[in-house]
Amino acid sequence: MFTKLLAERKIEPTPPMLSVIQRHPRESFAVAFARMSEQAPFYIFTAFIFSYGIGTLHVSRNFLLTGGVVGVRSVLRLDPCVRSSIGPHRSQEHVYDRGLR
Task: Report pLDDT digits (tens) over 14-68.
Answer: 777 888 898 899 999 998 888 898 899 989 999 999 999 999 999 999 999 999 9
Q: What is the pTM of this model?
A: 0.55
Q: How many Å apart are CA 29 and CA 36, to the nearest integer?
A: 10
Backbone φ and ψ for 11, nearest 5 degrees, come out as -130, 160
The answer to whether 24 and 46 have CB atoms below 8 angstroms apart is no
Q: How many Å apart are CA 7 and CA 4, to the nearest integer?
A: 5
Long-range own/partner contacts, residues 97-100 (CB < 8 A, 24 or more apart): none
The pLDDT assigned to 94 comes to: 64
What's the chain's Rg over C-alpha atoms?
A: 21
